[in-house]
Amino acid sequence: MHRFTIRVRYGDTDQMGFAYYGNYLRWFEIGRAEMMRSLGTTYRSIEERGIRLPVLEASVRYLKPARYDDEVVIATGVEQLARASVRFGYRVLRGGDEELLAFGATEHCYMGAGDRPVRPPDDLLALLRAAPVAAR
């Protein structure tokens, strides 16, 4: 899986000192964008071609909390490619000891002009097929 490290900021934590649960979805987005960048493209360049990838479904399973100043590794990969959608898988690990803190997935459809579902261009599909595979 593609790995990208971030640090939990003070503003990312809740009253209990845990990383706020909603931040994990933001971290998933960061991991997804950085994985695409590592493959030689960006979300911006995909959107400039008229393809968008809105989220259809998102899930997170929280196991242990990340805390202020922790380094967390966002591991991202493609879990499933379908005709009209792609599902990304994520693992959030504590930096250093690699303890699994959370895991989840997001499913996206390919959307074109007029907010209509479209098939992905062949080169985008090839890029996603070449992406790291999500660990289960």
For residue 18, pLDDT beyond 80:
yes
In the prediction, which pLDDT does 33 show?
A: 96
**39 Cβ neighbours under 8 A, 6+ residues apart:** 127, 130, 131
Q: Where are the domains of the chain?
A: 2-130
Q: Which CATH number fits domain 2-130: 3.10.129.10, 2.70.98.70, 3.30.1490.20, 1.10.1580.10?
A: 3.10.129.10
Model confidence pLDDT, tens digit, residues 67-105: 999 999 999 999 999 989 999 999 999 998 999 999 999
Euclidean distance between CA atoms 104 and 55, whole angstroms = 13
Radius of gyration of the chain (CA): 15
In the prediction, which pLDDT does 114 show?
A: 85
For residue 132, pLDDT beyond 90:
yes
